[in-house]
Homo-oligomer: A and B are copies of this chain.
Amino acid sequence: MTQFKVTPWDVEGLVDYKKLIEMFGTQPIDQPLLKRIEKHTGELHVFLRRGFAFSHRDMDKVLDDYEKGKGFFLYTGRGPSGNMTLGHLVPFLFTKWLQDKFGVNLYIEITDDEKFLVKDLELNEVQKYAEDNILDIAAVGFDSEKTFIFRDTEYIAHMYEDAIKVGKKINFSNVRAVFGFTNQTNIGMIFYPTLQIVPTLFEKKRCLIPAAIDQDPYWRVQRDIAESLGYHKAAAIHTKFLPSLQGPAGKMSTSDPHTAIYLTDSPEDVRRKIMKYAFSGGQPTVEEHRKKGGNPDVDTSFQWLYILFEEDDQRIEDIRNDYISGKLLTGELKEILIEKLTSFLKEHQKRKCKAERVAKKMKYTGKLAKRMWER
């Protein structure tokens, strides 16, 4: 029996990623594939080195196409149901690295329609979040001539024809099986998967989607129909979920502000949240910790450093060993995270303040954006 649940709208329980690969029918990212990527990128992103990007579909074919000069393009997205958390930023950080290394076009879909349809929110609320989220995303620093960010409700005229071509090939049984839709699902939501599939058809090249694995059901449907429409099956590279502040189960949720670090959090917010809520793998007392040591595998502070903030392989292993041996106390580990996270957010917030101009390029006036509005 599975003790966890992963759908595009819900992640519950302690996710067994090995099992998820079997359940979803994806491929693990293995050493030969990493070597092949490294050949082109010169180095490996920390997500790849440390197994946070752990699964894929057709990444080998993407590299085939790249090596043959056919190229490929990147596509990812964001459902703007609230202000963005650290967890929401994760796929974008990885996507930026892929764009930098391969120099390819990137399409970022802001699914304001989807979030309106599934959440108890008004459309104008979702659209307000969308515009703010776009600034956060633009602040990540994508190539503004090669990146197109669009909101579904604004760009729909350029997607609807493809959406009905996709929709004609998918029936209710299909989406019921893949997404768990029921007779109570609203008909906007039943149609929505077409719009998450359409950007995979933006170019005749192969599309590579870096995203958390919960989005994979969409790509499964896409792969069933893409070739009949004259396009490639989408390739994907899947990341795990960033553990929530309160522990390794589930993904960082926006519904409970206590378990999430928002990109707008102040240094004081960060200190308070980490000190109060960050799940610790350490022992109840200093004496016991010195004797028995801590468990970094379940410790949010360690995991966040490992996944996001301490890219120096030697330094992170030192931290791990010091924590296991009991030399490093939970409070000290938290201080390391607080310093790194505070400085990360400060930089992000600074970039976001100045992101208006690049966001406009990615939305309307950059080379790729312009081409997408003219097509």
| Interface residue ranges, A against B (CB under 8 Å) | 113, 116-117, 123, 153-154, 156-157, 160-161, 163-176, 181-191, 193-194
Known: A113-B160, A123-B165. 8 other contacts (CB 8 A): A116-B164, A123-B164, A156-B156, A167-B189, A169-B186, A171-B187, A172-B182, A188-B194
Copies of this protein chain in the complex? 2
Chain B: minimal CB distance from A189 (Å): 8
Residues of B within 8 A of A167 (CB): 117, 186-189, 191
Please measure, in the bound complex, the distance between the C-alpha atom of A169 and the C-alpha atom of B189, giving whole angstroms.
Answer: 11
For A123, A185, A190, the residue with the greatest tally of chain B CB atoms inside 10 Å of its CB is A190
- Taken together as a complex, chains A and B put the C-alpha atoms of A185 and B174 apart, in Å, by 10
Known: A190-B191, A191-B188, A194-B188. A183 touches B171 (CB 8 A): yes
Q: Which residues of B contact A169 (CB under 8 A)?
A: 186
Least CB distance from A291 to B in Å reads 58
Minimum C-beta distance from A365 to chain B (A) = 19
- Say whether B183 contacts A193, CB under 8 Å: no
Residues A183 and B191 in contact in the complex (CB < 8 Å), given A123-B165, A160-B153, A167-B117: no
Q: Which residues of B contact A187 (CB under 8 A)?
A: 167, 170-172, 174-175, 190-191, 193-194
Q: Which residues of the partner chain B approach A181 to less than 8 Å between Cβ atoms?
A: 172
Query: Do B153 and A161 touch (CB < 8 A)?
Result: yes
CA distance A313 to B191 in the complex (A): 51
Contacts of A166 in B (CB 8 A): 188
**CA of A176 to CA of B176 in the docked complex: distance in angstroms?**
14
Contacts of A194 in B (CB 8 A): 187-188
> Are B165 and A173 in contact, with the CB atoms below 8 A?
no
Chain B residues with CB under 8 Å of A160's CB are: 113, 153, 156, 160
Partner of A117, one of B153, B154, B168: B168
A163: nearest chain-B partner, CB-CB: B188
Could you list some 15 contacts between A and B, CB below 8 A?
A113-B160, A123-B164, A153-B160, A160-B160, A163-B188, A164-B188, A168-B186, A169-B186, A170-B187, A171-B185, A171-B187, A172-B181, A173-B184, A187-B194, A190-B190
